[in-house]
Amino acid sequence: MSAAPDVLEVERVGAVLVLTMNRPRQRNALDRELTDALSAAFDLLDDDPSLHVGILAGRGPAFCAGTDLHEPRSPATDRGGEYGLVRRRRGTPVVAAVEGAALGGGFELVLACDLVVAGREARFGLPEVARGLVATCAGLFRSADRLPPAIAAEMLLTGDPVGAERAHEVGLVNVLAEPGQALDRAHDLAARITRNSPDAVSASLRALHDSRGPAEAAGWTATDLAIARIARSPDPAEGIDAFFEKRPPRWGR
């Protein structure tokens, strides 16, 4: 009997650490095991001075479908927060290499990265409202930081995804790649970073993160209020039941 494959593939390529989520049958949904593996890998990226850039990718047809709905809440770690990345204070840049769908927590993973490379068929979305939920892992405020506010509002209120070409046009995606080429183009982008001073890159990245600190703190407070409001509603239970039963939700009003 063969051993189960690792839920996260970790590969060093020179000064670049490539992390590939490997739950393709679950569309790389984020459970406790994958979150712990991601957190350990990002610890390595943060702590090893020979590593200058990280790349985050997904195995299979989807980048990441978000939190595994069998989990009671989005799994988190002490150092990295949700998914081992969302609240992490980093001095090493991370590039998201996106093929297929990055939805819910999967899109929030993308928003936690610094640069984005996407295949032309990639999609980004925050579908929580369709399940009676709200985005809990920074999507409520980072979407409006990385996208024009009107497009962020459209994504948050309709739950509909945005395609890679539109995301590139409005500035979310740095590099638009042909389908299947996102990881290769992410390596190209990483190479443009690694030719520079590691200390200067780290200092610049920390300054970028620090400059967003007050807005991030306010965003987390607003997110906590939104979570408290939806917790008083019957809609989350109905939305999750409808998802598993593969039927339209029957909202109470």
Show the tokens assigned to 248. 């339209």
Candidate list 82, 99, 121, 128, residue with the active-site label: 128
Q: Catalytic site residue 108?
A: yes
Q: How far apart are CA 152 and CA 196, in angstroms?
A: 33
Show the tokens assigned to 85. 């990345």
Q: How far apart are CA 70 and CA 244, in angstroms?
A: 10
Q: Catalytic site residue 99?
A: no
Candidate list 99, 108, 154, 238, residue with the active-site label: 108
Considering only CA atoms, which of 152, 72, 148, 60 is closest in space to residue 107? 152
DSSP E strands: which ranges in 37-169?
53-58, 76-77, 81-82, 94-98, 101-103, 115-119, 123-125, 162-163
DSSP E strands: which ranges in the chain?
8-13, 16-21, 53-58, 76-77, 81-82, 94-98, 101-103, 115-119, 123-125, 162-163, 175-177
Query: What amino acid positions are annotated as catalytic residues?
Result: 108, 128
